[in-house]
Amino acid sequence: MFNARKLVLAHFWVAFVAFLGALALGAWQMYVRSPLSTWVKNPEHYYRSVTAHGTVMAYVLPTLVAMGFGYAITELALKRPLIGARWAWGGFWLVIAGTVMAAVTMALGKASVLYTFYPPMLASPFYYFGVVLVVLGSWIWVALMHVNMRRWKKDNPGASVPLAMYGNVAGAYLWAWTSVGAAVEIIVLILPASLGLTDTINAGLARVFFSWTLHAIVYFWLMPAYIVFYTIMPRAIGGRLYSDTMGRVAFALFLVFSMPIGIHHLFADPQVGAGFKFVHAAMTAMVSIPTFLTVFTIVASAEIAARLRGGRGAFGWVKALPWGNAWMQALLFSFVMLGFGGAGGLINMSYQMNETIHNTQWVTGHFHLIFAGAIVSMYFMAAYELWPQLTGCAPISRALIKTQIWLWFIGMMVLTMPWHLVGLLGMPRRMAYYDYSNPEIASQAWTVVASAIGGFILLASGIVLIYTLATATRRRASAVAPFTFSRSAHPHATTPVALNGLGLWAGMMIALTVVNYGYPIAQLALVKEASVPVIPIGSR
């Protein structure tokens, strides 16, 4: 690494410390709404905690990890100093400023609107300013990723952009475009109302703008994890990447289809017509394709590792995989969670099936399983892998890694499986307490107890994570081995030019946005009944 070591470390440390704090809040939330606890004394405290937990886990943790990982990849994959390190620090401090502003406002109880904002309810403007600052800081990162890739391509004409950087920049472009939705919602609709400049707000339109951001943001969160799958995992388990080109296809498809599908979050809403709901549902089916491709490619890459170790037979090679390797276990856990979470996602996207589970605890179980489970576990592995580069420590203790990821996997399964079930039984979301003395709810009580136990297991895992990273420098390496990404199985293959750049795919993303969102937004902006009175929260 060159200039970016401290920069990346700063991003990761803030991300993981905030993560641990939010984990503790999450565990408390699971506990306090379960039969193990009496009802929370003041329901507003529960919603305050949910707002903080969601804001950190959705806006702070993944943004900082993507940014830090992105800077690291820029130097390690392009093998040259990061261009614009000063700007990068500026972006980092903007994110910190925004986080602190939002955190203080939430802690004071002036922003209990949950991380999805929920207009016409309005919080203190400082909460929204805080979120805007975080997004602005991340846009600096996007610009730097663009500049660095372009400069490298100019200096290396005709060369293939390293896959890790390709995915990294795809994620950056995706984030830039998708964050526009929430940014418009906050700046145009929410802030004027929150500042008292207007007494009404177009809540239906705000929901549509938020849906613009809401789905693709999870693919922005997913990119770092998939970069790990393609460019680190195969090397870590002793294999080769089955196909570099397929990796690019997956990233390109994510860039095209992640964003213009957000209205599947609005299937049950009355302010969008069924025509657009169907189109978004059909295109959501398309965004499952890059995940299916990834599953194939990564399993094939693992098979290469197994056969290199002497595995034989159509299925017998599975036994020859390096099961004792912490990375192999992490991959297995992540794929199991991706499988269950992805299946749940396919159900959520299926328009009419969505009706059964909309806004029930199934949804909460789903996104914890897929994001907190499959994706965040790869954030951990990225940190473990980069730590020697960043701190000069010896490779991280395998025993600690295994402990941490086993706890995370078990905790996540115990947390989310009962959660899915109780959602099917009709338990609604986001309630500070439930009356377990009612017979219908009493039969659901055991699931909440189980999930609470899972939450505490996860908290333990988070503590092990911080401990592991903090104490890693106790063992210093005499010389840190240079960082390598995974090798392709066909290293002399060529890259199709369309998959060496992102312009075509970004253009498709923007065109699809116009088709899929243009009319709903324009139309809702013109419906005068859609502007409804604001509801500032808090006592007067």
Partner 1 sequence: MREQGRFGWSNSLVRRSILWLLALTIVSIAVGFFLLPSVQADYRAQGIWASICRAAGVPSDWGGSREIRQGPLATNVVLERSMTDAVSKDAVGRGATLALNCTMCHGAQGLSSSEAPNLAGQYPEVVIKQLLDYRAGKRTSSVMEALARRLSDKDVSDLAAYFAYLPKARTSPTTYDEALPKLVRVGDPIRNIAPCVSCHGGIDQKIGAPWIEGMPKGYLVQQLQAFRSNDRHNDSEAQMRTIARAMTDAEIGEVAAFYARKASNGGDH
Partner 2 sequence: MPGHHASETVAAAAERRWAIIVIAIIGVLILMMIVTGVHWASMPPSRVEAVDVKTIHIKGEFVESNLGTAVEPDGKVTVRLIAQQYSFVPNCIAVPADTPVTFRGTATDAIHGFVVGRTNANTMLVPGFVSTFTTSFSKPGEQLMPCHEYCGTGHEAMWAHVQVVPRDEFMAKARPGGRMSCVQR
> Contact region for partner 1 (CB under 8 A) — 5-13, 18-26, 447-455, 517-525?
517-525
491 binds partner 1 (CB under 8 A): yes
Q: Report the SS3 class of residue 241.
A: strand
Which of 47, 92, 129, 219 is labelled catalytic?
219
Q: Residue 1 half-sphere exposure, CB side, CA atoms within 13 Å? A: 23
Task: Select from partner 1, partner 2, none the partner in contact with residue 136, using the beta carbon and a kind-dependent cut-off of 5 to 8 Å.
Answer: none
Residues 160-219 that bind partner 1 (CB under 8 A): 160, 199-200
- H/E element holding 212? helix 203-231
Nearer Cβ to partner 2, position 121 or 466?
121
To the query of whether residue 429 is one of the catalytic residues in this protein, the response is yes
DSSP-assigned states of every residue in 9-43: HHHHHHHHHHHHHHHHHHHHHHHHTSTTSPPPSSH
CB of 438 to partner 2, least distance (A): 7
- To partner 1, the closest distance from the beta carbon of 45 in angstroms equals 8
Q: Which residues contact 394 (CB under 8 A, 6 or more apart)?
A: 388, 472, 475, 476, 477
Active site includes 366?
yes
DSSP conformation class of 383: H
The verdict on whether 430 is a catalytic residue reads yes
Nearer to partner 1, 143 or 425 (CB): 425
Q: Which of 11, 264, 265, 368 is catalytic?
A: 368
Task: Cis check for the bond before 224: say yes or no (omega within 30 of 0).
Answer: no
Residues 6+ apart with CB under 8 A from 192: 198
Please report, as a single letter, which amino acid is at residue 75: E
State which of residues 307, 500, 510, 525 lies at the interface with partner 1 (CB under 8 A): 500
Q: Which is nearer to partner 2, 16 or 210 (CB)?
A: 210
Which residue bears the tokens 């610009």? 143
Structure tokens at 307: 């056969």
Q: Among residues 17 and 282, whose Cβ is nearest to partner 1?
A: 282
Query: Please, which residue, 271 or 495, has the CB nearer to partner 2?
Result: 271
Q: How far apart are CA 451 and CA 433, in angstroms?
A: 15
**Residue 393, beta-bridge partner list:** 476
Confirm or reject binding of residue 474 to partner 1 (CB under 8 A): no
Contact between residue 233 and residue 301 where contact means Cβ atoms under 8 Å apart: yes
Can you say how many angstroms the Cα of residue 81 is from the centroid of all Cα atoms in its chain?
27
In the complex, what is the shortest distance from the CB of residue 116 to partner 2, in angstroms, rounded to a whole number? 8
189 by Cβ neighbours in 10 Å (0-12 / 13-18 / 19+) ranks as buried
Which residue is catalytic, options 150, 429, 476, 490? 429
For residue 247 the two structure tokens come to 């990796």
Best CA proximity match to 512, nearest among 251, 71, 122, 216: 216
- Structure tokens given for 80: 């040259």
Tokens for 119, please give them. 């207009």
| Interacting partner of 352 out of partner 1, partner 2, none (Cβ under 5 to 8 A depending on kind) | partner 2
Binding window for partner 1 (CB under 8 A); candidates: 69-77, 219-227, 377-385, 486-494: 486-494
Considering CB under 8 A, how many residues would be counted as binding partner 1? 59
Residue span binding partner 1 (CB under 8 A) among the ranges 37-45, 370-378, 401-409, 467-475 = 37-45
Write the secondary structure of 85-128 as one string of H (helix), E (strand) and C (coil): HHHHHHHHHHHHHHHHHHHHHHHCCCCCCCCCCCCCEECCHHHH
Rg (C-alpha) for the chain, rounded Å, is 23
Active site residue 307: no
- Residues found near partner 2 in the complex (CB under 8 A): 43-44, 47, 112, 114, 118-121, 203-204, 207, 242, 266-274, 277-278, 281-282, 285-286, 288-289, 292-293, 296, 300, 346, 349-360, 424-426, 428-434, 438, 440-441, 527, 529-533, 535, 537
Q: Residue 367 catalytic? A: yes
Q: Which member of 42, 356, 471, 484 binds partner 1 (CB under 8 A)?
A: 42
CB of 93 to partner 1, least distance (A): 34
**Selected catalytic residue, list 430, 433, 436, 487:** 430
Return d(Cα 179, Cα 177) in angstroms, integer.
6
Per CB under 8 A, the list member of 434, 456, 483, 517 interacting with partner 1 is 434
283's contact among partner 2, partner 1, none, with CB below 5 to 8 A by partner kind, is: partner 1
CB 448 within 8 A of CB 425: no
Interacting span for partner 1 (CB under 8 A) from 89-97, 222-230, 411-419, 507-515: 507-515
Q: Give the per-residue contact string, 254-293, with partner 1 (x = CB under 8 A; - = no).
A: --x--------------xxxxxxxxx--xx--x-------
Of 207, 215, 248, 280, which one is the catalytic site residue?
215
Q: Residue 537 interacts with partner 1 (CB under 8 A)?
A: yes
496 binds, among partner 1, partner 2, none (CB under 5 to 8 A by kind): partner 1
Q: Please identify, using beta-carbon distances, which residue of 310 and 529 lies nearer to partner 1.
A: 529
Enumerate residues 6+ apart whose C-beta is below 8 A from 123.
105, 110, 111, 112, 113, 117, 194, 537
How long, in residues, is the chain? 540
Question: What residue type is 424 in one-letter code?
Answer: L
Q: Where do contacts with partner 1 occur on this chain (CB under 8 A)?
A: 39-44, 158-160, 199-200, 244, 256, 271-279, 282-283, 286, 431, 433-435, 438, 488, 491-501, 504, 508, 512, 515, 519-520, 523-524, 527, 529, 533-535, 537-540
Which residues are catalytic, by number? Answer: 215, 219, 366-368, 429-430
